[in-house]
Structure 1
Amino acid sequence: MEWVRGDVRGVVVVNVLLWLGALGCWLFIATFLLDGWTRPGYRPVRQPVSALALGPRGWLQGANFIVCGLAITAGAVALAGALDSPLLALLVGVFGASVVASGVFPMDPMRGYPPGTPEGSPAEFSTRHTLHDWAGVAVFGLLPVAAAVAAFVLPDAGWQWYSGLTAGAAFVGFLAFGTAWERDSPRAGLVQRVTIAVGWLWLGAVFAYATG
C-alpha cells in the first residue's frame, strides 16, 4: 500500500500547486482593484496597475506582483501533468516569472503619479523601467498565446470555446492598451484593467479546472 499513499500525496501536492496558481490570479486582481480604489492621488481609469508600485504604499503592489507571480509559476509546474500539455505549462510558467519581474523592476514615476510628478512621460527612462516594459510585453503577450494553446488541448468543448474567446479578447485588449498608453489616453488604465481581468480570471479558472 506504500505506492498508494505515495500516489495520494502526489495528487495532493499537484492540487495544492494548482490552487496556488488560481488564488494567485484572483488575488492579484482583487488587490490592485482595492488598492487603486483607495490610493490617494491615484486615478485608476487613467493610470496603469504598475503605477501602484510607486509612492509610500507602493510596496503593496510590488508584493502583489511578486507573490502572485510566484504562485502562478508554482501552479504552472503542476499544469503540465494535470492537463497533459507541457507547452501550456511552459507558457504559463514564463508568464508567472514575467509577473515577478514586473514587481522586481518597477516603472518610473510619470503622468502625474505619484502626486507631484510632472504630467507626461520623462525624456529618458531608467534601466529598471525598460526591464519593466519588457516584462509587461511578456505578460500581456503570453496570455493570449496560452489561451489559444488551451483552446486546442483542453478536452471539454465549452472550455475550448472559452479559451479561444479569451485568446482573442486578450490579444485585442493588449493592442488597445498599447495604443491608449502611447496616446496618453485618459482611459488607458481602464482598458488595461479590463484586459487583465479577462485574461487572469480565465487563467485562474483553468487552474481550478485542472484540479479535477
Structure 2
Amino acid sequence: MTAAPAAPTAEIRTNRVTRSLLGYGVLAGPFYVTVSVAQALTRDGFDMTRHAWSLLSNGSLGWLQITNFVLSGLMVLAAAVGLARAVPQSRWASVLVGVFGASLVAAGALRADPAMGFPAGTPDGPGTVSWHGVGHLVAGGIGFLCVIAATYVLARHQPRALAWYSRVSGTLFLAGFAGIASGNSAPWFTLGFVAAVIVIMTWLTVVSARLYRSLPCR
C-alpha cells in the first residue's frame, strides 16, 4: 500500500501564500508595460516622443489605461505584502512598494488631463489642469519617490550583486523622473522617462522572482 503524502507543514503553507503574492510582482511590470506600449503604438495621434503614457487615460479607449493603472497597482500591492512576508527585516521596503502600488491605483482613478495634442483634437500645449489632473500628478510623484526609496532600503537586505542592481535601478529611475518633472518636453526627456519606467518595473519583477524562488514550497 502506498503511503499517503504528508500534509504540508505550516511553513510550507505560508511559503505558498507568500510565493503567490510575489508572483503578482513578477507579473505587474510586464503587464503594465505591455498594455501601455500596445496602446502607444496603436492609439490615433499618440506619439511616444511627446506624450506620457498617462495621457492614454483619455479618449474613447481611455478606460484601457485606467484599467491598466488599477490592475497593475493592485498587483504591486500584493507584491508588497509578499515582500513583507519574505523579508520581514525590511518592513520599510514593503511599505514603500505598497505606497507605489496605491499610487498606481490612484493614478487610474484620477485621470490625467488631455494635453500636447492628445487625444486627437486636443490643442497643443499643456492644456487646462483639473483637480483630478493635479491628483494624478501628486499620486504619481509620491509613488515614484517611494519606489526609488524602496530600491535603496531593500538593497541593504540583498546579496551584493542584487543590492547594486537595486541601487542602480533606483538611480536611473530618479534621473528619468527628474527629467520629465523638469517640464522639458524634448523627445529625449519623454523617451528617457519611458525607459526609466521599464527599468523600475523590471526591478520589481527581478526582485519578486528572486524572492519567489528562494522560498521552498514542498
The bucket for the TM-score relative to the shorter chain is over 0.9
1:141 positional shift: 1.4
Distance (whole Å) between structure 2 residues aligned to residue 188 and residue 56 of structure 1: 27
Match of 1:159 among 138, 159, 162: 162
The amino acid across from 1:210 in the alignment is L
Q: Are 1:116 and 2:121 counterparts?
A: yes
Match of 1:24 among 21, 24, 28: 28
1:10 positional shift: 1.7
Distance (whole Å) between structure 1 residues aligned to residue 192 and residue 201 of structure 2: 14
Backbone CA RMSD of aligned residues: 1.7
Aligned residue in 1 for 2:208: 207
Task: Give the conservation status (yes or no) of the 8 Å contact 2:116–2:123.
Answer: yes
SS in 2 for 1:153: coil
Aligned residue in 2 for 1:52: 56
1:9 positional shift: 2.2
The amino acid across from 2:82 in the alignment is A
SS in 1 for 2:76: helix
Distance (whole Å) between structure 2 residues aligned to residue 88 and residue 44 of structure 1: 31
1:36 positional shift: 0.6
1:4 positional shift: 4.2
- TM-score, length-scaled by structure 1: 0.92
Q: How does 1:1-212 map to 2 (within 5 A)?
A: 4-84=8-88, 85-122=90-127, 124-154=128-158, 156-179=159-182, 182-211=183-212, 212=214
Residues 186 and 97 of structure 1: CA distance in aligned 2, closer, same or farther (over 3 Å): same
Distance (whole Å) between structure 1 residues aligned to residue 113 and residue 6 of structure 2: 55
Once the two structures are superposed, what CA deviation does each residue of 1:6-58 show, in whole Å capped at 9, x if it has no partner?
43222111101100122012210111111111111111121001011111111
SS in 2 for 1:141: helix
Unaligned runs of 5+ in 1: none
Distance (whole Å) between structure 1 residues aligned to residue 107 and residue 119 of structure 2: 18
Distance (whole Å) between structure 2 residues aligned to residue 95 and residue 32 of structure 1: 18
Distance (whole Å) between structure 1 residues aligned to residue 93 and residue 25 of structure 2: 14
Distance (whole Å) between structure 1 residues aligned to residue 8 and residue 46 of structure 2: 54
SS in 1 for 2:26: helix
SS in 1 for 2:156: helix
Task: Give the conservation status (yes or no) of the 8 Å contact 2:50–2:116.
Answer: no
Task: Give the conservation status (yes or no) of the 8 Å contact 2:180–2:193.
Answer: yes
Distance (whole Å) between structure 2 residues aligned to residue 94 and residue 183 of structure 1: 27
Task: Give the conservation status (yes or no) of the 8 Å contact 2:28–2:201.
Answer: no
The amino acid across from 1:162 in the alignment is Y
Distance (whole Å) between structure 1 residues aligned to residue 83 and residue 7 of structure 2: 22
The amino acid across from 1:202 in the alignment is W
1:186 positional shift: 3.6
Higher Rg of the two aligned structures? 2
